[in-house]
Amino acid sequence: MISSTSQQLGAIQGATVEELLGNLTVQIHSSVDDDLSPDAVGLKSSAELLIAAGDTQLARNILRSMIQSGLMVAWALRTLGNTLATEGKTGPARRCYQDSIAFEAGLESYRALASLEISLRNDAAAADALERASFLQGLAPPLRAELHKAAGNCWLRAQKSEKAETHYRKALMIDPTNDAVASNLGALYLQSGRIQEAVRAFEDALVVNPENSKAHAALASAFLAQGRKREAHDHFAQSLDQDLQQPTVIFQLVKCAYELKSYATAARLLGQYVNIAPVNANLLYSLGGLQFHLGRIDEAAATVAKILRIQPGHSGAGELQKLIQRYTQRALT
């Protein structure tokens, strides 16, 4: 056999189907003569090369031959499922994955099945597959924790919060330093109205990773639910300092700024945001208002002028322009 994989792939791409089938027949008969059984490794290699070359139909012929011959059956079933899934044949693909698991329960088959179910938005079925995978023997602790996290995410999307919580807690028992899991657990509590527990979970996540922008934003939302607007404002700002491209968080920060009459941080971050976001008259109007409240009249006037160039009939900008003009006139008298 040719030792270089790239050379093998080139040979396959340049050969006719008849030649490939002929080579396969020679390979099988040769192996039978030598070992009284087909060469499973060689067949696996041929199938993989055909899949890489885009000839899934011929690859499936090899895979079915392997299954019928009892060669690497779990792998062949899973790989057959992968080829079917890529062509949108989800029902047959699911059956292949399930048969692979039934023949030999393996992590990759569980993962493939879960991935298929997630793509079909069958989150409960995906969670069930991941949950079963988490019971496999010999898994490294980080991998088992990741399976619990993924199962928790699927159960949460399936609106099974108790099952999701169970898996998040199992993941944290294995790895207490996983800030993503702690943050997900906090999101579950927040969604369930368990605000104080949500606050603790988000704070735990931030102890591990102070730069977790999602945890900062979610903690801010929890503080808002408790009426703690100053803390909410500060954590919205910290979230944006880590990841500016969060329009919903920008909106919440500006809202807090106006309610608290504390404008400087929001003006700074909104000013940065409008430079990277698509032009939006309402965002610019918010920025102009913040600049006006900070006494930065020239900047506010320039922002309003920009709004009116984009949207001449913007009523809020027109009113703000009048306020700026009155302020300027009083300053001159």
Does residue 130 belong to any structural domain of this protein? Answer: no
Contact between 119 and 154 (Cβ < 8 Å): no
Give domain status of residue 310, yes or no: yes
What token pair was written down for 226?
Answer: 């408790």
In a domain, 109, yes or no: no
pLDDT in tens, 208-249: 999 999 999 999 999 999 999 999 999 999 999 999 999 999
Residue 250 lies in a domain: no
* C-alpha pair distances (Å), 130 with each of 19, 103, 140, 148, 270: 42, 17, 15, 7, 41
Indicate if the pLDDT at residue 32 is higher than 60: no
Question: Which pLDDT does position 38 carry in this prediction?
Answer: 57
Give Cβ neighbours of residue 318 (< 8 Å, ≥ 6 apart).
Answer: 308
How many domains in the chain? 1
Structural domain includes residue 321: yes
Q: Is residue 188 within 8 Å of residue 168, measured between CB atoms?
A: yes
Mean pLDDT in residue range 124-128: 98
Instruction: Examine residue 328 and state whether it is found in any structural domain, yes or no.
Output: yes
Closest CA to 212 of 222, 225, 223, 203: 203
Cα–Cα distance measured from residue 217 to residue 233, given in angstroms and rounded to the nearest whole number: 9
More confident position, 240 or 27: 240
pLDDT in tens, 4-25: 434 443 443 444 434 444 444 4
* pLDDT above 70 for 78: yes
Cβ–Cβ under 8 Å, residues 102 and 86:
no
322 in any annotated domain: yes
Q: Domain of residue 330: give its range.
A: 278-333
Identify whether 299 is part of a domain. yes
Q: What is the pLDDT of residues 242-251, one digit of tens each?
A: 999 999 999 9
Neighbours of 230 (CB within 10 A): 12
Cα separation, 25 vs 72, in Å, equals: 18
For position 23, what pLDDT does the model report? 47
